[in-house]
Structure formats: structure tokens, C-alpha cells
């Protein structure tokens, strides 16, 4: 079982590294270059609206499905019968809530139609995740691995044909239809993979079972909602508080693109950490070694990436985008600070989640909402995308450091002062090397390679990095 799980983890990592960053940095970037910042700003605003109530689409069903079927594969038909019905109900609620919010927000006509299509995309995406949860519960790990990139793979192929067919007339509506077709194809693949189980299942509505699942998932859904507010509301506020809101959102989206690609990889590591933390907590084992390993894999690289972005924001953005890169470059500096903070949050927020400290996480997230919206009320009208990015960096840093404080304190991990000194020394030296490279106008690729190499050597010299700790990440699902 452990060997099978390890193979699946490696396959998922490889497939996601190959496909998802290409979607964000390739296809999505090409679309924005084609349609321009203003049109793309409209899209990213509508996309953010479609995410606002997206936690309704799951509400704990996927996690319940995986654990239930994994414990007893014979229950797959009963689970599919009840949970599929629950997913339909949740989809209707999500669609109604999002469209009503869109109307209150002021959408009408074509924009409301595009929001409807984006909602359909989200609904299909979450049905794919539901079917994948069943497949994973049945231990069909290889199938699940390929389905994890099925939607984006299909979208990439369709988008390439779309660019060829429509060329200079390619629009945001075309882009949304590309996503819709990709999701439909991925859904059909998921249904085909589960055809034997689905075609022998009769739909039932078990209110008691659904109520049990929804009740247990309510704190996690509330946390997801609050986090969505402080991570996505800046796009919505920009549109309302700036006359040029759509253009500013397009500028902001350019600067955010590399952060989104990095987050895709960071989330994969966080997904490995959650069961591992949970397992160690259940056995009352010391968490210190695993936290140190997570710091090496996420925190140190995240901060170094932010340092590189700070000193080399202009050449990086000019390489990534053609639509007014000069306006996006100053924003990029702050978005990558957010990325570094998110890497910290993925470690210590995941730790708090494994410890089931939901009250702390929700309380901190509510404070983050107040900080974010309060500061954006001042910053967005004056500074636009730069102001929103700076506020986002401050908000995410607040969440990161408070999560770290409570995570270390409540887990009773034994960190010595020398450990933190070694960590800070490694980051300081790596940052200084990159800063000097920028001062002497050394190429960004050379500077990055040098900074990373020096940092790795420092980690080995100070014994922060231990190869023997890496297998820990692959023992979460014995």
C-alpha cells in the first residue's frame, strides 16, 4: 500500500508540474495578451465572483466519500446514490446564491450570462472532484492521478485550436467556452472511469446522512468562505472603487499569475502534510522534525522567490506579459510577498487544521477580512492595483505569522533558538546574494541559480537540510 501511495504521489506531482503551470503561464497568459488588460479584468472579476460561494459545492462530501469508500469499498453504490443527490442540491443552491450576489453586485446582460457560464464550470469541476474522491477511495490511484490534470489538459488542446481558428478575434467568451468544453470532457472521462459503479446506482435522498456530513463540514466551509473574502474581494472592490477598475484588475492579474502557478505546487505539498500531521497528532508524536522539513520545502523557497521578485520584478514581468508590463511590475513585487506568506500559511495553517483548531483559524480569518477591506478602502482608490497588492501582502503576512505562532505554541514543538537563527541566516545570505546580483545587473537566471545554490549550501552547512527526513512526506497513507 505504501509503495502504491508513493507511486501515486510522484505521478500526481509530475503531471501537475507539467500541465497546470503551462495552463497558467502559457494559455492564460496568451489569452490576456490577446484580449488586453481591460477585457481580462472583466473576466477575472467575474471569475472571482464565481468563487465566492464555491465552498457550497463540496461542503465536506468529497472528504466523506473518500474516507467512507476507502474503509468499505462495498459501500460505493450507497455513497454515490446519496451524495450524488446531495451534490445536485448543493449545485442549485450555489448557482442561486452566486447569481443573486451578482445581481446585487450590479451585473446584467452579457456579464451576468458569463457569470452563469463560469458557475456551470465550477459545478462541473466539483462533480469531477466528487467522482475522483470515489475513485481514490477505491484505491485506483493511477486513474485519479491522470484525472487530476484531465480538465487542464483538455483545455490546453482546445485553447490551441481556438487560437488557431479565431486568431485575432479570440475573446473572453471564447476563453470561458474553452474551459467549459475542457471540464465536460474531463467529466466524461471521470464518468467512464466509474461507469460500472454509476450505472448500477439508483439515486436516493438520505436527509439524515447528508445532515451529518454537512454539520461536520460546517466549520471548514465557513473558514473557506471567510478566506475567499480576503483573498478575492480586492478584485470586486477594485471594480467598484476605481473608474478604471477593469484595467486595474487586468494589471493585478498579470502580477498575480506567477503566484497562482507557485500556489498550485505549494498546495500539493500542503495536501501531503495534512494526513501526515493528523497521523502524528493521533499517535501523540513530536511534530518538530516534520515542521522543519516543511519549512525547507516550502518556507525557504517561498521567501527566496519573493526576494528574487522584489529585485527582478521588471525583467520577470517583461518576460511573462506583453500587455502593459511596466504597470504590472511594481505590483508583482507585492504579490510574491503574498506567495511567501502563503507558503508559511500552508505549513502552519495545515498544522492547525490537523489539530482541529478551527475556532482559531476562523477568528484569524475574520480579522484578516477586517484588515483587508479596511485598508483597501483607503489604498485602492489612491493606488489601484499596487495598493491592493500591498494590502494583500500585509493581510497574508498577518495570517502567516499568527498561524505560525499558534501552530508552534499549541503543537508543543521543541524549536531551539539556534534553529531559528540558522533559518534566518540562510535566508539573509541568500537574499544578500540576490540583492548584490541585482545591484551589479547580473542576469535574473544567473542570479536565481546563484542565490538558490548558495542557500542550499548554507542549509547543508548549518544542517538545516537532512535527506533522511524527506521520506516522511510519503508515509502519510500507510
pLDDT, position 470: 53
Confidence check: pLDDT of 436 > 60: yes
pLDDT, position 361: 94
Cβ atoms 37, 324 nearer than 8 A:
yes
pLDDT digits (tens, 9 = 90+) for 239-259: 999 999 999 999 999 888 888
Q: Give the mean model confidence (pLDDT) for residues 393-411.
A: 94
The mean pLDDT of the chain is: 85
Confidence check: pLDDT of 456 > 70: yes
Confidence at 478, pLDDT banded by 50, 70, 90: very low
Those residues whose C-beta lies under 8 Å from the C-beta of residue 319, and which sit 6 or more positions away, are: none
- Tell me the C-alpha distance between 241 and 229, whole Å: 16
- Tell me the C-alpha distance between 403 and 98, whole Å: 30
Q: Give the mean model confidence (pLDDT) for residues 27-52.
A: 90
Confidence check: pLDDT of 63 > 80: no
Which range among 71-75, 253-257, 278-282 has the greatest average pLDDT? 253-257
Grid cell for residue 190:
471521470
- Tell me the C-alpha distance between 144 and 192, whole Å: 12
Percent of the chain with pLDDT over 70: 91
Confidence at 1, pLDDT banded by 50, 70, 90: very low
pTM of the model: 0.86
pLDDT, position 74: 67
pLDDT, position 342: 94
pLDDT digits (tens, 9 = 90+) for 261-270: 888 878 877 7
pLDDT digits (tens, 9 = 90+) for 356-382: 898 999 999 999 999 999 999 999 999
Which range among 55-59, 183-187, 278-282, 319-323 has the greatest average pLDDT? 183-187
112 phi and psi, to 5 degrees?
-70, -35
Those residues whose C-beta lies under 8 Å from the C-beta of residue 317, and which sit 6 or more positions away, are: 254, 255, 325, 328, 329, 332
pLDDT, position 476: 45
pLDDT digits (tens, 9 = 90+) for 131-189: 887 787 776 777 877 787 888 888 888 888 888 777 778 899 999 999 999 999 999 99
pLDDT digits (tens, 9 = 90+) for 205-214: 777 877 887 8
Those residues whose C-beta lies under 8 Å from the C-beta of residue 21, and which sit 6 or more positions away, are: 261, 264, 265
- Among candidate residues 3, 5, 16, 70, the one with its CA nearest the CA of residue 268: 16
Amino acid at each position: 500500500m505504501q509503495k502504491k501511495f508513493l507511486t501515486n504521489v510522484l505521478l500526481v506531482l509530475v503531471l501537475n508540474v507539467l500541465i497546470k503551470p503551462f495552463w497558467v503561464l502559457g494559455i492564460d497568459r496568451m489569452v490576456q495578451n490577446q484580449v488586453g488588460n481591460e477585457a481580462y479584468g472583466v473576466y477575472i472579476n467575474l471569475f472571482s465572483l464565481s468563487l465566492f460561494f464555491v465552498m457550497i459545492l463540496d461542503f465536506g462530501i468529497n472528504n466523506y466519500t473518500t474516507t467512507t469508500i476507502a474503509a468499505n469499498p462495498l459501500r460505493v453504490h450507497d455513497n454515490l446514490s446519496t451524495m450524488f443527490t446531495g451534490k445536485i442540491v448543493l449545485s442549485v443552491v450555489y448557482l442561486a446564491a452566486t447569481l443573486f450576489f451578482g445581481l446585487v453586485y450590479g451585473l446584467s446582460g452579457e456579464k451576468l450570462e458569463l457569470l452563469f457560464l463560469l458557475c456551470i464550470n465550477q459545478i462541473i469541476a466539483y462533480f469531477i472532484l466528487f467522482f475522483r474522491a470515489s475513485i481514490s477511495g477505491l484505491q485506483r490511484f493511477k486513474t485519479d492521478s491522470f484525472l487530476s490534470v484531465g480538465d487542464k489538459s483538455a483545455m490546453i488542446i482546445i485553447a490551441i485550436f481556438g487560437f488557431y481558428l479565431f486568431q485575432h478575434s479570440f475573446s473572453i467568451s471564447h476563453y470561458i467556452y474553452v474551459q467549459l468544453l475542457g471540464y465536460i470532457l474531463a467529466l466524461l472521462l471521470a464518468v467512464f472511469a466509474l461507469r460500472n459503479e454509476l450505472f448500477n446506482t439508483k439515486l436516493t435522498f438520505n436527509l439524515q446522512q447528508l445532515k451529518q456530513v454537512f454539520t461536520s463540514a460546517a466549520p471548514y466551509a465557513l473558514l473557506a468562505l471567510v478566506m475567499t473574502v480576503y483573498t478575492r474581494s480586492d478584485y470586486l472592490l477594485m471594480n467598484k472603487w476605481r473608474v478604471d477598475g477593469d484595467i486595474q484588475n487586468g494589471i493585478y492579474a498579470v502580477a498575480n499569475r506567477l503566484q497562482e502557478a507557485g500556489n498550485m505546487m505549494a498546495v500539493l505539498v500542503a495536501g501531503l502534510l495534512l494526513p501526515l500531521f493528523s497521523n502524528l497528532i493521533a499517535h501523540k508524536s513530536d511534530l518538530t522534525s516534520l515542521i522543519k522539513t516543511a519549512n525547507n520545502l516550502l518556507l525557504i523557497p517561498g521567501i527566496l522567490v519573493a526576494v528574487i521578485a522584489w529585485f527582478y520584478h521588471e525583467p520577470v514581468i517583461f518576460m511573462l506579459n506583453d500587455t502593459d508590463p511596466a504597470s504590472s511590475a511594481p505590483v508583482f513585487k507585492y504579490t510574491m510577498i503574498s506567495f511567501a506568506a502563503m507558503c508559511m500559511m500552508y505549513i502552519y495553517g495545515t498544522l492547525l487544521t490537523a489539530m482541529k483548531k478551527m475556532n482559531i483559524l476562523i477568528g484569524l480569518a475574520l480579522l484578516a477580512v477586517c484588515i483587508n477591506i479596511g485598508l483597501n478602502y483607503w489604498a485602492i482608490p489612491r493606488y489601484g492595483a499596487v495598493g491592493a497588492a500591498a494590502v494583500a501582502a500585509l493581510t497574508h503576512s498577518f495570517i502567516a505569522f499568527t498561524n505560525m505562532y499558534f501552530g508552534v505554541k499549541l503543537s508543543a514543538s521543541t524549536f531551539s533558538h539556534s534553529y531559528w537563527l540558522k533559518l534566518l541566516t540562510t535566508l539573509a545570505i541568500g537574499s544578500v546574494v540576490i540583492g548584490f546580483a541585482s545591484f551589479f545587473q547580473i542576469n535574473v537566471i544567473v542570479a536565481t541559480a546563484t542565490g538558490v545554490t548558495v542557500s542550499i549550501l548554507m542549509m547543508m552547512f548549518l544542517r538545516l537540510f537532512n535527506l533522511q527526513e524527506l521520506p516522511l512526506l510519503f508515509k502519510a497513507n500507510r
